Structure 1
Amino acid sequence: MAIDVTALRADFPALDHGLAFFDGPGGTQTPRPVAEAIATTLTGPLSNRGTLSVSEANAERTVAEFRAAYADMLNVPAAGVVHGRSATQLTYDFSRHLAKTWRPGDEIVLSRLDHDCNVRPWVQAAARTGVTVRWMEIESKSKELDLHAYAHALSPRTRLVAVTAASNVLGTKPPLRRIADLAHEHGALVYVDGVHYAAHDLVDVPAMGADLFVCSPYKFLGPHCGVLAAAPELLETIQPDKLLPSSNAVPERFEFGTLPYEMLAGATAAVDYLAAMDPGPRTSRRERLAHSLAALHEHEDALRTRLEDGLRALGDAVTLHSQAADRTPTLLMTLDGRDARQAQVHLAARGVLAPAGSFYAYEPFTALRLTDPALRAGLAPYNTAEDVDRFLDGLASFTAT
C-alpha cells in the first residue's frame, strides 16, 4: 500500500510554482479534477432542481451525488448529510437549533482543546439561554484531555458535549468513543468537530459515538464549504427557523436558500480523488477510501517522523508542543527568543509556506499559555521528503541568525 506522490503531485497546478506547502491545516491545494468538476457543473446547463429539463436534472443529480459521496466518506445515510457554507456556519446554525430546547439550569460541556468554531457558538447559545458551561481541561504535559475531570463535569442536566476529533494546532486526537459513551450515559448529545481529523483519517461517525459531526472539504483537497453528518432520525427531531415555503424534509430543512451546485460537485470530486489516491481493488467507494487513507496515514507518518527528527536536531532553538501519543501530522512549535512571524517571513522567502499565529485555537493557547504567534507545520498528501528538508533547512538558517 503506497501513494505514488510523484503522480499525485502532477494533478496540482499550484505545485508548478515551486512552493513547499505546510499550510494544509488551514486549507489544502486543489487538484485539477476538483476544479474541473466545479467548472463543468457551473457552466451547465444548470438550473434550480427539478425534472423537466437537462439543466434541472443536472442540479438534482449533483445534490444526490454529493450526499452519496459524504455518506460513503462519513459512514452515515445520505439523508443525514447537510451542506453548509463552512463548519463555523453549521455549528452556529445548530447551536441555535439545539438551544431552543435548553432551559436555565441545563449544562453543556466544552473542550479546551478545540478550535473556537466548536466553542464560541455554544458559549454564546448558553449565555442566551441561562445554561451552565463546564469544561474538559487539557493536561499540560501530555497535551491530552483530562478524562477523569471530564467524567465529573457530566451530570443529569448535561444536554450537549462538544469536542474535537483532532486539534488543529496540536494534532491531539482525544479518545472520542470514551468521551461519547460517558456523555450518552447522561443523555447528552455529542457534537464533534472533525475538520482537522477528516483530512488525515477515515471517519466513521457511528463508531466515534458522534451524534453530529462537521467537516470542511477544503481541508482535504475540496472547495470551500462545510458538511454536517447525523442520523436522519436525529435530524427529524431538530426544528430550525426557516422560510415558510421551503422544504421541511430532512436534510433540506437545514440548507437555507439555493444550494451552490458547483461547490457540491467539487466536494464530491474531492471524495472521489481521495478514494483513488492508492489504487486498490474495485470495491465500494467506502472500501477504497479506507484503502487510500490507510496509505495516506503511512505516507504522512513517515514525513512527520522525518520532520520531528529534524526539529529535535535543532536543539533548544525549537520547542515542539505537539506531544500527544495519538495525533495528526500537524506540529506546533515556538522558537527560543524569536518571533514566529519572522520565521514565517524567512521561510516564505525560500518558497516554504508555514504560517504563524494562534489559528483560532483560543482555548488551547490560553490554557497552555502558548506563545502567540507560534509556528505550525502541517502535512498534506502532496508533501514530500524534499519539502520537509526545505522546511528544516530554512528553519535552521533562521534560528542560526
Structure 2
Amino acid sequence: MNTPFPIRSVRAHFPALNPSDGSLPLVYFDGPGGTQMASQALMGMMTYISRGMANLHGPFPTSLRTDALLLEARAAMADFLHCQPQEVAFGQNMTSLAFAIARSLGALVQPGDEVVVTEADHRANVDPWASLARDRGAGVRYIPLNPTTYTLELDRLEALITPQTRLVAVGLSSNVTGTVTDVEPIIARAKAVGALVVLDAVHAVPHLPVNVEQLGCDVLLCSAYKFFGPHIGIAVIAQALFEKLPVYKLEPAPAHIPDKLETGTQNHEALAGLLGALGFIESLGEGNNRKECLQRGMQRLEAYESELAAYTEQLLQNVPGLKLYRAPAGTKKTPTFAFTLEGVPSWEVSRWFAERHQMCVADGHFYATTMAEKLGVLAGGGWVRIGLAPYTSREELERFHAALLEFVAERRLRANTPT
C-alpha cells in the first residue's frame, strides 16, 4: 500500500487527543507504558455494558452474547497473532498470566535444572521464571546485554542454553531501547536441547506484525492496553503444552483449554474493548478477511512509525549533553527512545515537559532494572523515554524537539547564573 498514512483520520479515532471539555490536548509520548484507547475499543466496551452484562453459560440473551463475545475475542486474537483460537487465554495482565503459567510449569523443573532469562528484559519476563527456578532448586542464567550496542550477546547461546536448560524467556523487543531481538537463534538453540521458550511480546505487538506459528515459541504474552485497547492480558500457549499444563483452579471449573487457565470471571467489557482495538488496526489494512487486514494494517502502521523514528533519531542527534540509548543502524528497532541528559535527573525532565508543555514524557527504570544497573543510570533516576504511536504526528515531534532544546538552554543558563 503506497498511499500516505492517514494521520489525521487516525488521530480522529482517539478521543484523548481531542478533549471535548475545551482543554488543551496533551501530547502523548508514553505509548510504551500504555497507548491511548481507540474509539472502536471505547465504543465496544460501552456497547457491551449498555446492552446488559452477564456471566457465561446462561440461557438468556445477555449471557449468550457474552459467550459469543469470548469466542470472537479468541478468534480475533488468533487472526492477529497467527495462532489457533484454542491457544488464546485471557487474564488480568501479562505479569499475572506469567506467574500463573510459571506455577503450572513447576513439575517440569527439577533441582539442578536451569532457567535462562536476559539482562535486557522487563522484570515481568524475568521474575516469574526466576521464582520458578528458586522454588524448584534450579539455577538461573542470563543472556548478557552488550552495553555498547544494547543488543543481546547471542554468540554465547551454546554455553548458556545447555541440556540442563528447561525454559528460556526472552523479550521480542526492549521497552526501553526499542531493540528488536533476533529470537530465531535463541529459539533454535532452546529447541535443540528440549527447552521451552517464552516470549514477552508486550512491547513488540503494538509495533510489529507477530506470527506465533512462524516463531515456534511455546508461550507468547502481550497486553491489549499497549495496542490501543483496555487493560487485559493475553497468553498464547502452544496446544501441545497447554493441554498437559496443570493449573491451579477451582475443582468444578473447566479442565479443557483455554478455559482452564482463566480463573474466575473474566473482564468481559475489556474483551469487547479488545475487539474494538483490533478493529482499529484492521481498518488500516486491506484484504479478503480479517486476518489479512490485520496483517496489512500492522505493516502500514510499522512503516509509518519507522519513518517517524528515523526523523526522531535525527532530531535527537543535535541536542547538547544528550546520550541516546539506541542500537546502531542495521539493528531492527521499535520507535522507542531512551536517553539521559548530562547532570540532570530524569524525573526533572519529565516533570518540566508535563508542566511547561503538556507533554507526557516518562522517566525511570521501566522495570528493566538489570539493564538499568548495568548501564549505570539508576543514580540519576533512570532514563527519560518517549515512545511513538500511529497517532503521533511529525508536528508533535518538532514541538518536542524545540521544547527539549529550550530545557537544555534554561538548564545551562541557571548553571551559569551566579547565586
Q: Deviations over 1:11-47 (max 9, x none)?
A: 2111124221110000001121111101111223332
Q: Deviations over 1:265-319 (max 9, x none)?
A: 11111111111124x24x121211121111111111111111111111114x110
* Equivalent position SS for 1:200: coil
Please give the root-mean-square deviation of Cα atoms over the aligned residues, in Å.
1.2
Indicate if the aligned counterparts of 2:157 and 2:189 stay in contact, CA closer than 8 A: no
* Equivalent position SS for 2:205: helix
Q: Which amino acid aligns with 1:390?
A: R
Alignment of 1:137-286 (within 5 A): 137-278=144-285, 280-281=286-287, 283-286=288-291
Q: Which amino acid aligns with 1:309?
A: Q
Q: Which amino acid aligns with 2:179?
A: T
Distance 1:51 1:337 in 2: 62
Distance 1:46 1:370 in 2: 47
Q: Which amino acid aligns with 1:46?
A: M
Indicate if the aligned counterparts of 1:137 and 1:150 stay in contact, CA closer than 8 A: no
Distance 2:215 2:5 in 1: 27
* Equivalent position SS for 2:180: coil
Give the structure-1-normalised TM-score.
Answer: 0.97
Q: Which amino acid aligns with 2:157?
A: Y
* Equivalent position SS for 1:159: strand
Indicate if the aligned counterparts of 1:346 and 1:394 stay in contact, CA closer than 8 A: no
Deviation at 1:103, TM superposition (A): 0.8
* Structure 2 residue corresponding to 1:326, chosen from 329, 332, 353: 332
Mean Cα deviation higher: 31-40 or 156-165: 31-40
Deviation at 1:245, TM superposition (A): 0.6
Distance 1:335 1:90 in 2: 36
Alignment of 1:108-123 (within 5 A): 108-123=115-130
Q: Deviations over 1:119-149 (max 9, x none)?
A: 1111111111100101100111111111122
Q: Which amino acid aligns with 1:385?
A: R
Indicate if the aligned counterparts of 2:221 and 2:235 stay in contact, CA closer than 8 A: yes
Q: Deviations over 1:47-106 (max 9, x none)?
A: 222252211111111101110010001111000000010000000111111123211001
Distance 1:272 1:147 in 2: 37
Indicate if the aligned counterparts of 1:33 and 1:269 stay in contact, CA closer than 8 A: yes
Deviation at 1:231, TM superposition (A): 2.1
Q: Which amino acid aligns with 1:333?
A: F
Indicate if the aligned counterparts of 1:352 and 1:390 stay in contact, CA closer than 8 A: no
Distance 1:231 1:153 in 2: 24
Indicate if the aligned counterparts of 1:193 and 1:213 stay in contact, CA closer than 8 A: yes
* Structure 2 residue corresponding to 1:374, chosen from 354, 365, 383: 383
Unaligned runs of 5+ in 1: none
Distance 2:33 2:118 in 1: 20
Q: Which amino acid aligns with 2:171?
A: T
* Structure 1 residue corresponding to 2:26, chosen from 19, 22, 34: 19
Mean Cα deviation higher: 113-122 or 369-378: 369-378
Residue 293 (structure 2) aligns with: 288
Distance 2:207 2:243 in 1: 31
Indicate if the aligned counterparts of 1:87 and 1:214 stay in contact, CA closer than 8 A: yes
Q: Deviations over 1:353-383 (max 9, x none)?
A: 1111111111111222234321001001100
Q: Which amino acid aligns with 1:310?
A: L
Aligned length: 398
* Structure 2 residue corresponding to 1:386, chosen from 367, 383, 395: 395
Residue 417 (structure 2) aligns with: none
* Equivalent position SS for 2:326: coil
Indicate if the aligned counterparts of 2:40 and 2:279 stay in contact, CA closer than 8 A: no
Residue 106 (structure 1) aligns with: 113
Indicate if the aligned counterparts of 2:353 and 2:360 stay in contact, CA closer than 8 A: yes
Distance 1:146 1:86 in 2: 29
Distance 1:221 1:97 in 2: 30
Distance 2:313 2:115 in 1: 37
1:297 aligns with 2:302: yes
Distance 1:156 1:11 in 2: 50
Identity %: 33
Distance 1:189 1:359 in 2: 26
Alignment of 1:28-177 (within 5 A): 28-50=35-57, 52-177=59-184
Distance 2:198 2:383 in 1: 28
Mean Cα deviation higher: 179-188 or 320-329: 320-329
Q: Which amino acid aligns with 1:313?
A: N
Mean Cα deviation higher: 322-331 or 222-231: 322-331
Residue 6 (structure 2) aligns with: 4
Residue 409 (structure 2) aligns with: 400
Distance 1:308 1:65 in 2: 40
